[in-house]
Amino acid sequence: MVKEVERAGIPVVHVCTVTPISMTVGANRIVPAIAIPHPLGNPALDPAEEKELRRAIVDKALVALTTEVEDQTIFE
C-alpha cells in the first residue's frame, strides 16, 4: 500500500516493526515501531509515558516526511 500511495504522488512514511520487510518490499521512508501488536504503544508503561513514547514515534514520522530522501531510509 505504501508504494501505491507514493506512486499517487503523496509523500508517505511507513511506521512498522518489521523494517526488513518494508525495506525488501520497497518503502522509501521508514520509521521503526515498538512491537507488532502495539507498534505505537507499550502496555508495560503507564498511560502518560506511553503517550510520550507514541508522540516520539509520530515526531520521527514527521521528520521523515519533511526530509528529502533519495534512497530507502530508516529514520531511527
Instruction: Please report, as a single letter, which amino acid is at residue 11.
Output: P
Number of residues located near another protein, criterion CB under 8 A? 52
18 lies in the site for another protein, by CB under 8 A: yes
61 lies in the site for another protein, by CB under 8 A: yes
46 lies in the site for another protein, by CB under 8 A: no
| Burial class of residue 27, CB neighbours in 10 A (0-12, 13-18, 19+) | buried
Where does this chain bind another protein (CB under 8 A)? 1-22, 24-26, 28-29, 32-41, 43, 50-51, 54-55, 57-58, 61-62, 65-70
